[in-house]
Amino acid sequence: MFILEKPYVSDLLKNTLTELKAKVLENETARAAMQDYPLSLVNEQDFINFYKANPDQPVYSNSENAINWIDNNLTSSDLSQKIRLFKDKAAFRDLVKDLYPDFFYKTVPFEELDSINPKDLPIPCVIKPSVGFFSLGVHMVESIQGWHDAVSAIKEEIEHIKTMYPAKVLELDMFIIEQCIEGEEFAVDAYFDKEGKPVILDILGHLFASSDDVSDRVYITSTDIIQKWHDKFEGLLTEIGKRAGLKNFPLHIEIRGDEKGNLGVIEVNPMRFAGWCVTDLAYFAYGINPYKYFMEGLTPDWDDIFEKNKDKVCAMAIGEIDSSVDRSKIKGVNYESFNSYFTKPLELRKIDYKEFPIFAFMFAEFEKDNMAELKKFLHADLSEYLIFE
């Protein structure tokens, strides 16, 4: 069963829904996305009845915008409670706190941020909405002054953020302060099968331009990354799944890992894989269709994948628009020039920059011994691709 919501429904997802003859909830987003596809949508009451008949069946949403509908309608199981457990970062920290007994975290109401004495914090640290998405409202704090700067920035950002995403996706009344987790950052798309066993579908390395960068500009995946981290991440997911009682449940989890194999969970996003259908990177890189694998309980043949894809790296790069840019002054994007930046582009997705501070998602392939092009992109001024009035 699928619930489609904004901000983005990819062609791969639409084609997969059609192929599987999937039960897709009829709503405004689904009608717009599937209008040219031969798939009958399921009205709201029938969708609820199908779920009630078998609440253990797999349910997937491409966007956390669906959480409010799930809370109000799929009430015949504990699905909403499991979603809330992961969406609320503080609740999740409570779930795993004995795994990380020395880890500092503290929840603070928005209106009390000014009362926090940064001298009492384990700087460097991170402050972010307790319920959040897509690095919105996230700030790295590396000094006493950095704390005051972060609080000021949050106050400026908060009203703008509210206009982009529903309240269930970002709840800006409560923030969590966490100590920094050391190591490389990864994002993992996985699901728990009907027996509760975790199945990893992709591991993405998160590249940063600097130590204080918290953007999502570039993620990469490669067989080297998966071979090194798969078993460690699978063990962590097994523990989380046991504690939360997860079965037929998809998630996107962000993890840091150091060279000693120590792991720290940054956050868990329930009900979906990588947002904006970025999970499709697994398909471009390895031929893994994450939606089909979850619905049909399939497991990747990693040995075969490692052999066939050992010399390449695939990346997802975001065409971000800096917050200093007045988007109302943009009259177009030079997509041809943006596309030509990449030596081997796989798919360019154009995004409505009037609605979101993004103009494109790019999927591209690279030789693993030649990553200079991608590293340069991390520091690029992407406003050069914008056309102004």
Domains annotated for the chain, with CATH where assigned, are 2-85 (no CATH), 104-179 (3.30.1490.20), 184-388 (3.30.470.20)
C-beta of residue 127 within 8 angstroms of C-beta of residue 175:
yes
Question: What local confidence, expressed as pLDDT, does residue 137 receive?
Answer: 73
Question: What local confidence, expressed as pLDDT, does residue 169 receive?
Answer: 46
Residue 10 has pLDDT above 80, yes or no: yes
Mean pLDDT of the region 199-220:
90
Is 259 or 18 the better-scoring residue by pLDDT? 18
pLDDT bucket at 103, cuts 50 / 70 / 90 = confident
Q: Sign of dihedral through CA atoms 355, 384, 206, 102?
A: negative
Half-sphere exposure (CA, 13 Å, Cβ side) for 10?
27
Question: What local confidence, expressed as pLDDT, does residue 163 receive?
Answer: 60
Q: Which of 66-75, 84-93, 266-275 has the lowest mean pLDDT?
A: 84-93
Question: What local confidence, expressed as pLDDT, does residue 99 receive?
Answer: 86
- What is the H or E stretch that residue 108 is in? strand 105-109
| Model confidence pLDDT, tens digit, residues 181-199 | 888 999 999 999 999 999 9
Question: What local confidence, expressed as pLDDT, does residue 156 receive?
Answer: 81
Q: Which residue stretches of the chain are H helix?
A: 11-20, 28-33, 44-53, 67-73, 79-87, 89-96, 144-162, 223-244, 281-286, 290-296, 302-308, 335-340, 372-379
Mean pLDDT of the region 232-250:
96
| Rounded percentage of the chain residues whose pLDDT exceeds 90 | 74
pLDDT bucket at 162, cuts 50 / 70 / 90 = low
Q: Rounded to the nearest 10 degrees, what angle do helices 89-96 and 79-87 cross at?
A: 90
Residue 114 has pLDDT above 50, yes or no: yes
For residue 99, which phi and psi values (nearest 5 degrees)? -75, -25
pLDDT bucket at 168, cuts 50 / 70 / 90 = very low
Residue 387 has pLDDT above 60, yes or no: yes
Residue 285 has pLDDT above 70, yes or no: yes
Question: What local confidence, expressed as pLDDT, does residue 361 receive?
Answer: 98
Question: What local confidence, expressed as pLDDT, does residue 184 receive?
Answer: 93
Residue 264 has pLDDT above 90, yes or no: no
Residue 342 has pLDDT above 90, yes or no: yes
Reduced to 3 states, what is the DSSP secondary structure of residue 16?
helix
Q: State the burial class of residue 359 (Cβ atoms within 10 Å of its Cβ: 0-12, 13-18, 19+).
A: buried
Residue 381 has pLDDT above 90, yes or no: yes
Query: Beta strand 125-131 with 139-141: parallel, antiparallel or unpaired?
Result: antiparallel
Question: What local confidence, expressed as pLDDT, does residue 161 receive?
Answer: 63
Q: Please write down the long-range contacts of 154-163, taking CB distance under 8 Å and 24 or more positions apart.
A: 154/110, 154/113, 154/127, 157/323, 158/110, 161/136, 161/137
Question: What local confidence, expressed as pLDDT, does residue 135 receive?
Answer: 58
In angstroms, the Cα distances linking 171 to 44, 88, 222, 276, 297 are: 26, 9, 34, 19, 33
Mean pLDDT of the region 313-329:
94
| Model confidence pLDDT, tens digit, residues 81-99 | 999 899 888 888 889 988 8
Specify the amino acid at residue 140: M
Reduced to 3 states, what is the DSSP secondary structure of residue 178?
strand
The encoded tokens of residue 290 equal 């994450």
Mean pLDDT of the region 361-368:
94
Q: What is the mean pLDDT of the chain?
A: 92
Mean pLDDT of the region 154-162:
74
Q: Which of 12-16, 27-31, 210-214, 253-257 has the lowest mean pLDDT?
A: 210-214
Residue given tokens 């029938």 in the structure block = 46
pLDDT bucket at 130, cuts 50 / 70 / 90 = confident
Q: Which of 361, 290, 278 is CA-nearest to residue 16?
A: 290
Residue 158 has pLDDT above 80, yes or no: no
Question: What local confidence, expressed as pLDDT, does residue 16 receive?
Answer: 98
